[in-house]
Chain A
Amino acid sequence: MDTNVILLLLLVPLLGSLVNIFFGKKLGNGSGIIATLAVLISFIVTVVAFVQVNGTKTPIQGNLFEWIAVEKFSISFGFLLDQLSLLWLLFVTGIGTLIHLYSTSYMKGDENYGKYFGYLNLFIFFMIILVAGSNLLITFIGWEGVGLCSYLLIGFWHKNQDYNDAAKKAFIMNRIGDLGFLIGVFILAFLFHSLDYMTIKTALMSGTNHQINTWIGCAALAIFIGAIGKSAQIPLYTWLPDAMAGPTPVSALIHAATMVTAGIFLITRLNFVFDLAPLVQDTIAIVGAFTALFAASIGLVQNDIKKVLAYSTVSQLGLMFMAIGFGAYEVAVFHVITHAFFKACLFLGSGSVIHAMGGEQDMRRMGGLDKYMKVTYITFLIATAAISGFPFLSGFFSKDEILMVAFEHNKALYIIGSIASIMTAFYMFRLVFLTFKKGFRGTQEQKNHLHESPISMTLPLIVLAVLSIFGGLISWPGSSWLNQYLQPVIVKSAANHPHALGFEAYMLMGVATVGFLIGLIWAFRKYIQKAQVPQEDDKITGFHKVLYNKYYIDEIYDKLFVKPIYIIATFFRDVVEVALSGAVFGLGKIADELSLQGKKAQNGNIGLYLFAFVFGICLLLYYLFIAR
């Protein structure tokens, strides 16, 4: 029974993917429907499994077959559907279904419509493997698999080499993280002779010694590097903004709601390992906080609607990492879920805008769209309010909990997180005002083309907007369902607040609300009252320019890493190779000279070479055996 559930969950999206990749051209519009249904089935299976596990409190497990065997242990193709993986699967397949539905309209008319859905289904398949794997190496299949799909979908419009560059960059930067992941796997395998989550957990619960702890720290650090790559944290975040080259639904699904949260998932999955590595936890908190601030500051001045959202994602992921660094895994997971709702809504909303604008992404060419696209505008506004921390919307609770945990652990990081939150409110409302308010700044042609998107696109927006409003209910302060639910998978939590809310908590909520208002009013004054429009690129100066150019990090990486490697490659090719060849054939040269002379005598007949060779061997053998 258990195995059947797992197989059904996995194989339906895989089948959908294969059908679409192989027969997509023939299916026409049918491929979108098939793909959406495939994910919907996965969602239904997930719901059934979720209800079962929530009732019985026993995870669903199954090993399909032995995959890799090394001397000391073997790794099976095994899956584990417990509270954590099912939670992830719920929103992966749930939001996945919505985004598939949305894509059926958004991608209409694309020459590779079928292939698009093939890749999207493949992504869901690998994402399921990632979260449902019962050991680290199965997770690693999913981990690299989603990276592959990310590559395929970022570079989906592969005629454009800039998009291809972005895809390549995403894959390579992720691979840096993946090496970290793999090294972590090796260390854990060395320590525990197993890669199975449950086995490692049991081994750790039954006691550790200090000698192990150093290695545990190394393993945690290595795995964190993996998480940095996948979840776009400093210093490996630069691929994510570029990844916006992909179709917008892809940005919503992969680069906002699901794949980029895999790092959070992995660390939460291994919470019992990270609990033993306090130094690494501190590092995570600091990296997260700084990423949150750094990315938010870049987001303040971007004019590409998707770029703003991309930096916002990086920043929000930073907040999640900060929470994880404090050991508050449930809080991070909570924010993952609410973020999935409102960020997916925002991306799909921006897709709706881009759709209406005929591909335009620069907010300086937009404005006043609220009159043309009511549903898009209202849902977008709700999601913006949610991410900015408007009281009692989902983002308010989840972000507030993160800041609350930060306040308890480290006041400096609390301040950094709060500043990032104010910035979030500012850049999000800046985005809303520039896009939807005031007059239209685009061309007349664009203006004539403006329209609300069809129902298959607005329906997902509405659902996600509703979830953005009420999503916070799953973890109501003081009596959190989520914390209860996750208790079996999280060994030691810093976020359990069974006691009633104290004065401190209310105060922090108040402060957060004030922060939200500051950001909102700041944006309102600038873009509504003063009706400013961001300057054209060549007029930007000073620190604004530094921000606008993303602190020149891409350029710095290019000078520091990419260029030197090319220089070394050229040096190796033109100098070292030649030198090695020369050195080895210094001796060979002499022989060459001899053969040249010999060749003259023998008219260049290669048959003679062969003859001489055979004769030589015979002579040698004769000398060695017979003549002796």
Chain B
Amino acid sequence: MNVTILLLTLLVGAIATYISGKKPAAKVALLFGLVAFVETIVLICQHNAGTDAGYMTQWISNPNIHIALKADGLALALTLLTTALTPIIIFSSFGDHIEKSNIFYSLVMFMSFAMTGTFLAADGLLYYVFWELSLLPIYFIALLWGNDTFEVRKKAILKFFIYTFAGSLFMLVGFIYLYSKTGSFLLQDLYNARLTGTEQYWVFLAFFLAYAIKIPVFPFHTWQASTYEKAPTVGTMLLAGIMLKMGLYSVIRWQIPITPIAAKEVMPTILVLSIIGVVYGSIVALKQANIKRFFAYSSLAHVGLIAAGAYTLTLDGMKGAVLQMIAHGFVIVGLFFVGEIIYRRYQTRMIGEMGGIRQQAPKFASIFMILMFASIGLPGTFSFIGEFNILYGLSQINLWYAVIGGTTLIFGAFYMLRMFQKAMLGETNAKPFADLNTKESIILGVLAIVIIFLGIYPKPLADLITPSLVEIVSYIK
């Protein structure tokens, strides 16, 4: 079996969901999502057994474009994140009233398809096509099914669209420039392209604009909070859980190994920017009234640290970054779901209008706490593994990076516990709050188990990604 089957499953899933009609759409999407997840597991097992599941064929001969899919450990790990979260995200919306649900879920599946393609693509142009394709469904999901009035949210969503799209165009220019130098878009050829320092610098910069906006790195983050707020929760989960990682992944997969000299030179500046993002995001999060915006800024802080890990250009930092991408994906999807559960019962996303929930819903409170402490990076949760690796990687470059970046330990606890206290604790809320139903328990239970299991035994995942990262680091040296 190779990865094209996985991509086809997702694509067929999108089409089938659309055709199936409004009623069964969610179930069809879930079914295809689960099949894709199982396929991913099979692919990883195959990979571990030594079979290459990649695929390559000429697409267009002039210009020289390939359909090249590379299924190494790194790509498979991110594919796993995508196909594991997709069914969870779909399932989380079961029971919600969604208009034109067949289009909605079809878009979700299509987005999953495009993001998986982005992670697997090993040809620059193919990669770019997947990258842009993934933007379309989220644009429509946010625009058509989002919160607030159409006019209000359109402003935010359009801003997001134009902003990220503009950034990506720079990346396209970068690829075209690379093509003019090497005559190929293939990842391997680009790795081996011998560019001069100056050439690398420009390519690096072009890529950086695309990635910095997508990740987002401070100060390119201004689209984030309002988009998260306005998008429907399914969209926010797709964005924060998976799509953010496209930028981070691309830094490691494309940007750094293609332009290592430039990366080394610019590294200190980007590390500083990333770490500013950690502190800045944490502080801004303190004063957010809307729980979705709150999680958005907490994400800004977290991805700042992940970006810092990636840009250490060391094995440890990058490994931490990849592990943390996956950990953050699971945790943030859980947290947005927690916010959604409160919204379902109280019809509010304002933290100040919540409170006194723990008394009424102990199960819900417990899982919320697990997710919260995972977000804070408590040892024993998956987030700690990544955070430790990243901070360790930073400390080996310069201890001060680790000290300042490490303030996330303190700030994270500060804003999270403060939010939790306001949202969950205190005198019993006058409005009744039903504890988790079965569906909600399953979703949050699965997330909690994954987060704790990988916190104690991260080895399978770490072993999966390490060889790919060793290879990437070898291009830097």
Q: Is the beta-carbon distance between A171 and B417 smaller than 8 angstroms?
A: yes
Q: Is residue A484 within 8 Å, beta carbon to beta carbon, of the partner chain?
A: no
Q: Is the beta-carbon distance between B63 and A625 smaller than 8 angstroms?
A: yes
Q: Is the beta-carbon distance between B414 and A584 smaller than 8 angstroms?
A: no
- Residue in B163, B283, B457, B458 whose beta carbon sits within 8 Å of that of A584 in the complex: B163
- Report B305-340 CB contacts with A as 1/0, cut-off 8 Å: 000000000111001000000000000000000000
Find the B residue at minimum CB distance from A66.
B459
Query: Which 3 pairs, one residue from A and one from B, show the smallest C-beta to C-beta distance?
Result: A186-B395, A581-B222, A141-B379
A137–B163 Cα distance when bound, in Å, is: 42
Q: Is the beta-carbon distance between A148 and B373 smaller than 8 angstroms?
A: yes
Q: B110 → chain A, closest Cβ, in Å?
A: 13
Q: B413 → chain A, closest Cβ, in Å?
A: 5
Q: Give the size category of B's interface with A.
A: 35 or more
Q: Is residue B203 within 8 Å, beta carbon to beta carbon, of the partner chain?
A: no
Interface of B is mostly: helix
A112–B363 Cα distance when bound, in Å, is: 13
A109–B225 Cα distance when bound, in Å, is: 46
Q: Is residue B406 within 8 Å, beta carbon to beta carbon, of the partner chain?
A: yes
Q: B27 → chain A, closest Cβ, in Å?
A: 28
- Residue in B63, B222, B379, B417 whose beta carbon sits within 8 Å of that of A580 in the complex: B222
A528–B315 Cα distance when bound, in Å, is: 70
Q: B317 → chain A, closest Cβ, in Å?
A: 10
A140–B62 Cα distance when bound, in Å, is: 58
Q: Is the beta-carbon distance between A71 and B315 smaller than 8 angstroms?
A: yes
Q: Is the beta-carbon distance between A610 and B136 smaller than 8 angstroms?
A: yes
Show 26 A/B contacts (Cβ-Cβ < 8 Å), sorted by A.
A65-B459, A66-B459, A69-B459, A69-B462, A115-B362, A137-B379, A145-B378, A161-B421, A161-B426, A168-B421, A171-B417, A176-B410, A178-B409, A182-B388, A182-B406, A183-B403, A186-B396, A186-B399, A189-B392, A565-B283, A568-B283, A569-B283, A573-B288, A591-B162, A610-B136, A625-B62
Q: Is residue A423 within 8 Å, beta carbon to beta carbon, of the partner chain?
A: no
- Report A40-79 CB contacts with B as 1/0, cut-off 8 Å: 0000000000000000000000000111111100000100
Q: Is the beta-carbon distance between A190 and B396 smaller than 8 angstroms?
A: yes
A contacts, CB < 8 Å to B = 21, 65-71, 77, 112, 115, 137, 140-141, 144-145, 148, 151, 155, 158-159, 161, 164-165, 167-168, 171-172, 175-176, 178-179, 182-183, 186-187, 189-190, 565-566, 568-570, 572-573, 577, 580-581, 584-585, 588, 591-592, 595, 606, 610, 613, 617, 620, 624-625
- Residue in A70, A580, A584 whose beta carbon sits within 8 Å of that of B316 in the complex: A70
Q: Is the beta-carbon distance between A573 and B457 smaller than 8 angstroms?
A: no
Q: Is the beta-carbon distance between A572 and B284 smaller than 8 angstroms?
A: yes
Q: Which residues of A contact B222 (CB under 8 A)?
A: 577, 580-581, 584-585
Q: Which residues of B contact A148 (CB under 8 A)?
A: 373, 378
Q: Is residue B302 within 8 Å, beta carbon to beta carbon, of the partner chain?
A: no
Q: Is the beta-carbon distance between B359 and A158 smaller than 8 angstroms?
A: yes
- Residue in A155, A179, A595, A613 whose beta carbon sits within 8 Å of that of B158 in the complex: A595
Find the B residue at minimum CB distance from A178.
B409
Q: A13 → chain B, closest Cβ, in Å?
A: 15
A581–B159 Cα distance when bound, in Å, is: 10
Q: Is residue B194 within 8 Å, beta carbon to beta carbon, of the partner chain?
A: no
Q: Which residues of B contact A66 (CB under 8 A)?
A: 459
- Residue in A140, A572, A581 whose beta carbon sits within 8 Å of that of B280 in the complex: A572
Q: Is the beta-carbon distance between B421 and A144 smaller than 8 angstroms?
A: no
- Report B54-66 CB contacts with A as 1/0, cut-off 8 Å: 0000000011000
Q: Which residues of B contact A71 (CB under 8 A)?
A: 314-316
Q: B407 → chain A, closest Cβ, in Å?
A: 7
B contacts, CB < 8 Å to A = 62-63, 132, 136, 140, 143, 158-159, 162-163, 165, 172, 176, 219-220, 222, 225, 280, 283-284, 286-288, 314-316, 319, 356, 358-359, 362, 366, 373, 378-380, 385, 388-389, 391-393, 395-396, 399, 402-403, 406-407, 409-410, 413-414, 417-418, 421, 425-428, 456-459, 462, 466
Q: A179-B407, A183-B406 are in contact. List 4 more A-B contacts (CB 8 A).
A: A67-B457, A168-B421, A172-B410, A182-B402
Q: Is the beta-carbon distance between B458 and A68 smaller than 8 angstroms?
A: yes
Q: Is the beta-carbon distance between A164 and B421 smaller than 8 angstroms?
A: yes
A66–B459 Cα distance when bound, in Å, is: 7
Q: Is the beta-carbon distance between A588 and B379 smaller than 8 angstroms?
A: no
Q: Which residues of A contact B63 (CB under 8 A)?
A: 625
Q: Which residues of B contact A585 (CB under 8 A)?
A: 159, 222
Q: Which residues of B contact A189 (CB under 8 A)?
A: 392, 395
Q: A198 → chain B, closest Cβ, in Å?
A: 21
Q: Which residues of B contact A613 (CB under 8 A)?
A: 136, 165
| A71, A565, A572, A588 pick with most chain B CB within 10 angstroms | A71
With A175-B409, A566-B287 already in contact, the answer to whether A187 and B378 are too (CB < 8 A) is no
With A164-B425, A172-B413 already in contact, the answer to whether A68 and B385 are too (CB < 8 A) is yes
Q: A65 → chain B, closest Cβ, in Å?
A: 7
Q: A450 → chain B, closest Cβ, in Å?
A: 30
Find the B residue at minimum CB distance from A115.
B362
Find the A residue at minimum CB distance from B285.
A569
Q: Is the beta-carbon distance between A145 and B380 smaller than 8 angstroms?
A: yes
A483–B280 Cα distance when bound, in Å, is: 50
Q: Which residues of B contact A21 (CB under 8 A)?
A: 366
Q: Which residues of A contact B220 (CB under 8 A)?
A: 584
Q: B456 → chain A, closest Cβ, in Å?
A: 8
Find the B residue at minimum CB distance from A71.
B315
Q: Which residues of B contact A617 (CB under 8 A)?
A: 132
Q: Is the beta-carbon distance between B414 and A172 smaller than 8 angstroms?
A: yes
A529–B185 Cα distance when bound, in Å, is: 94
Find the A residue at minimum CB distance from B378.
A144
Find the B residue at minimum CB distance from A152.
B369
A68–B388 Cα distance when bound, in Å, is: 9
Find the B residue at minimum CB distance from A607.
B140
Q: Which residues of B contact A168 (CB under 8 A)?
A: 417-418, 421
A66–B418 Cα distance when bound, in Å, is: 35
Q: Which residues of B contact A584 (CB under 8 A)?
A: 163, 219-220, 222
A588–B228 Cα distance when bound, in Å, is: 19
A171–B410 Cα distance when bound, in Å, is: 9
Q: Which residues of B contact A565 (CB under 8 A)?
A: 283, 286, 414
- Residue in A159, A190, A577 whose beta carbon sits within 8 Å of that of B426 in the complex: A159
Q: Which residues of A contact B319 (CB under 8 A)?
A: 70
A487–B457 Cα distance when bound, in Å, is: 36
With A158-B359, A172-B414 already in contact, the answer to whether A186 and B366 are too (CB < 8 A) is no
With A171-B417, A186-B402, A580-B219 already in contact, the answer to whether A159 and B428 are too (CB < 8 A) is yes
Q: A454 → chain B, closest Cβ, in Å?
A: 28
Q: Which residues of A contact B413 (CB under 8 A)?
A: 171-172, 175
Q: Is the beta-carbon distance between B457 and A65 smaller than 8 angstroms?
A: yes
